[in-house]
Structure 1
C-alpha cells in the first residue's frame, strides 16, 4: 500500500508541475511557414488589382538636359532633320545662327536654335512641357528654388526691372544649363536649355 501511495503522489506531482509550465513561443520560422489567409469574400474577389505607381510627370516629357525628344544638343543640322522626321521651318542658307520651328500641332511647343550648323539650344514658352528637373511656365521663383536648391543663380531681367532669371548651373562639367525667365508678376514666362554661350543669348539669334 505504501508503494502504491508513493506512485500516486509522484503522478500528482508531475501533473501539477506540467500545469505550471509556460507555453513555448513559436519560432519565427514556424510563424513564417503558416500561410496568410486569403480573403475569398465576393467583394474581395471582385476588387480590381492595385494600380501601379504613377510615373513622375517631370521625368516623362521630351525635355532633357542633353536634348529634346529625339534630338541631342551638339547634333549637326542634317542629324536634327533626320531625327525629327517631320518638317522644320526657318532654315537659312548660310552658317549664321537661326531658329527652327516644327510644323503643325507642335509649332508652338519648342524653338530649336542652330548655330554653326549644330543644335545648341532649345526654347519653350508654354506650360505643356516640363523642363528637366520639374520647372515649367507659370511657376514662381520660390517654386523653382525648391526644385533647384543648390545650382540656381538669380540674375536681373534685361528688360523688366521687376523680373529675374534663374540660371541653373549644370550638375557636371561641360553640361547644359537651364535659364528660366521670370517676369515682373513673379512667374516663369519662358525657359531654355542650351550650351554656353548660346543659352545666355537674351534675344535669341538676333
Structure 2
C-alpha cells in the first residue's frame, strides 16, 4: 500500500512541474517591453516570419497605417509601444526600437553612452557618421558568429547617447530612412 502512495505522489509532482513549465513558456512568448532584442528579432518574433506568424509569436495583433507591396511597417496593436517591424517581401526584415525600456540581450538600450555600447560588444562595433545629425553616429554591431553574418544591430546616437536602435537582416537594417 505504501508503494501506491509513493507512485501517486511522484505522479502528482511530475504533473505539477509540467504545468508550471508550460505556464512559464507561454508567459515568455508574449511580446512586452521586457522582451529582449537579438541580432535577428525581439522575443519570439524573428526576422523572416510572415506577419501572421509574427503576430502569433508576439501574442498580439500587428497593425499597419499604410501597407504597400514593397516595404512598410507593422506595430503591436497595444503594447509594447514604440516598437515597429519593417516588412519587405511579405516578411519581417527588421525591428525598430524607440522604447527606452527595451534592451538587447546584453542590456544595451536607449540612453546608453557610446562608450557603454562599445564595452558591451568589444571589437564588434563599427562607428560611422550619422546622415542627419552631424554630431551623431551609427554604432553597428557586426556579429562574430558566421551564421549571423547577414544580420546587424544599429544603434543611432546624438554623438553621446543612443537615441534609437534597430536589428535585422541586411540590407534593410542599414536603410537610414526606413521604407522611404
Q: Using structure 1 for the length normalisation, give the TM-score.
A: 0.65
Structure 2 residue 164 is the aligned partner of structure 1 residue 204: no
Q: Secondary structure at the match of 1:106?
A: coil
RMSD: 1.8
Corresponding residue for 1:157? 130
CA deviation vs aligned residue, 1:110-158 (integer Å, no higher than 9, x gap): 1111100011100111220112332110011111111111110100000
Greater RCO (Cα-Cα under 8 Å, separation 6 or more): 2
Larger CA Rg, structure 1 vs 2: 1
Q: Write the distance in 2 (CA, Å) between the matches of 1:93 and 1:149.
A: 38
Match of 1:101 in 2: 75
Q: 1:95 to 1:146 in 2, by over 3 A?
A: same
Residue of 35, 59, 63 corresponding to 1:89: 63
Aligned length: 145
CA–CA distance in structure 2, aligned partners of residues 67 and 136 of structure 1: 15
Offset at residue 88 of structure 1 (A): 1.4
- Structure 2 distance, partners of 1:133, 1:103, is 27
The structure in which a higher percent of residues are strand is 2
Equivalent residue number for residue 124 of structure 1: 97
Structure 1 position 71, deviation (Å): 1.0
Which of 57, 71, 95 is 2:45 aligned to? 71
Query: Residue 81 of structure 2 contacts residue 99 of structure 2 at CA under 8 Å; is this kept in 1?
Result: no
Runs of 4+ in 1 over 2 A off after TM superposition: 81-85, 91-95
Q: 1:66 to 1:187 in 2, by over 3 A?
A: same
Q: Does 1:178 align with 2:153?
A: yes
Q: Which residue of 2 aligns with 1:4?
A: none
- CA pair 153-80 structure 1, distance change in 2 beyond 3 A: same
Cα deviations by residue, 1:152-189 (Å, 9 ceiling, x for unpaired): 010000001111110010222252211000114x1100
Give the TM-score, by structure 2 length. 0.74
Gaps of 5+ in 2: 1-33
CA distance in 1, matches of 2:132, 2:68: 30
Q: How far off is 1:91 after superposition? A: 6.4
SS in 2 for 1:136: coil
Structure 1 gaps, min length 5: 1-59
